[in-house]
Amino acid sequence: MAVIGVSTSQDSHPANVIYNKNHLRYPVQTFAVNPRGGRLNREPLYRSVADIEIGVDLAVIAVRSRFVPDVMAQCIEKKIKGAVIISGGFAESGNQDLQKQVAEMAAQADFPFVGPNCLGIYSPEAVDTFFLPGERIIHPRKGNVGFVSQSGGVLVDQMVKFAGEGIGVSAAVSIGNKACIRETHMIDWFEQDPGTRVIAFYIEGFECREGREFIKQAQACTKPVVVLKAGKTARGIAAASSHTASVAGDYRVFSEIMKQHCVAEADTEYELTAFCEALSCYPRGSFGNVGIVSLSGGHGVVAADACGNHGLNIPKIAEVTAETIRSRLSPEIQAIASLENPLDLTGSCVDADILTAVRHLSRDQNFDCILALLLPYSPGISADIGAKLSQVARNEGKPLIAYVPKEDKYKIIIEGFALNNIPVASSVEGAVLMAKALKRCRPC
């Protein structure tokens, strides 16, 4: 990788941050480029990419916008395979002609690039072109969610949320003004990537007719596609235009089309996080008929309200199912457990009661998704409940979503689910949002 624009006097320059981070922390051979030449921390500063003795896969361009065409010409001459253009000062600043010039040069030379006006690419354990100090970024682990964002800030903030919920990324890409590489290209790339199971987008707007093409590709994609769409109001549309020169279009039309074509639209960043976790475990989706198992009547009520607010159905439990569950419950709770939906096992239940309820609700054709609301401080619950319930879910083949308070002392329970690819929410609302994700991405 060649980083072009490295400063000899300003250590905090974006190019310096990118160069130092990759040179010192990642398994990528990194070269610093500055027209003055010389040395930087005992390493050579190349005057041009042409002076680099070996072939280069990626150029990171972090120079003033007016110098970008000349730098790109040098990269093309060097036969570099592609670039990330960090530099701003293009269409988002009203400089449409300069952006058009760079895009046309790249198209003529078949030279793909990400940007301009972006952070670029983060691939765990491989490369990081973000001009943010490594010690300040919270990196999610390597995982199976591919995330593409027009906004670098939203992307980094979402990475923090992913890391907090234990969600890993296969790659995160900030495409900025997307003068070359666009969302449609990223759908193609991530669909071919064996390490990606869910493709998520933060989108501000499209060019004319580009939204139609995006929806067609998303519907044809064999992996779930999740979208957080910005520019929903007049003020938001204006902000999107000034941020990345995007045309936000009619949000209501786009939202309805996404629903019709099985694209999972997240309404908030919080929903985006929940959607990605749920769909990374259950990519096929469901039809929104939810069975709720709770150890507390209050938690069941909260979940029922949340399901109603998010358009999820809470069907009745079939009589035969209820009778089967009651006959297999511990004698201590047979008379006090409520076998309506939500099902309340009370705080006196034990592991075997929860396993029985989840097993037989999973076999009830009224339900295509089960929520297990666990209160690990209940005296009859063991530290193995996560692993035990995961085994039930695997045997029954019906999506199970768990709620467990996110505290260190309950970590072993959470890990019992996570290690078996069962999504765990840290709130009742979060568990319901995961069920919503499955409905939003239902089979067409």
Binned at pLDDT 50, 70 and 90, residue 249 comes out as: low
Each residue's pLDDT tens digit, 333-377: 999 999 999 999 999 999 999 999 999 999 999 999 999 999 999
**Is 402 in contact with 424 (CB distance < 8 Å)?**
yes
User: Of 83, 116, 149, which residue is a domain's last?
Assistant: 116
DSSP state of 287: -
Both 314 and 276 in one domain: the answer is: no
State the residue for tokens 């036969």: 79
Each residue's pLDDT tens digit, 38-80: 999 889 999 999 999 999 999 999 999 999 999 999 999 999 9
Residue 179, domain member (yes or no)? yes
- Nearest Cα neighbor of 346 from 284, 400, 292, 297 is 297
Q: Helix, strand or coil for residue 144? A: strand
Both 189 and 238 in one domain: the answer is: yes
Both 253 and 316 in one domain: the answer is: no
Q: What percent of the chain has pLDDT over 70?
A: 95
Both 195 and 290 in one domain: the answer is: no
Cα torsion 138, 404, 321, 284 to 10°: value is 0
Position 94 scores a pLDDT of 94
Mean pLDDT score of the chain: 94
Task: Look up the domain containing 338 and give its range.
Answer: 285-440
Residue 132, domain member (yes or no)? no
Each residue's pLDDT tens digit, 111-150: 999 999 999 999 999 999 999 988 888 999 999 999 999 9
Both 269 and 219 in one domain: the answer is: yes
Sign of the C-alpha dihedral, residues 210, 213, 218, 222? negative
AA identity, residue 349: C
Position 441 scores a pLDDT of 80
Both 247 and 358 in one domain: the answer is: no
**Is 120 in contact with 174 (CB distance < 8 Å)?**
yes
Both 270 and 171 in one domain: the answer is: yes
Which of left, alpha, beta for 169 (phi over 0: left; psi -120 to 50: alpha)? beta
Binned at pLDDT 50, 70 and 90, residue 329 comes out as: very high
Q: Is the pLDDT of residue 378 over 70?
A: yes
pTM for the whole structure: 0.92
Both 169 and 181 in one domain: the answer is: yes
**Is 179 in contact with 116 (CB distance < 8 Å)?**
yes
Q: What percent of the chain has pLDDT over 90?
A: 87
User: What CA–CA distance (Å, rounded) separates 141 from 10?
Assistant: 31
Position 247 scores a pLDDT of 54
User: What CA–CA distance (Å, rounded) separates 86 from 21?
Assistant: 15
- The mean per-residue pLDDT over the stretch 253-265 comes to 89
Q: CATH number of the domain that 112 lies in?
A: 3.40.50.720
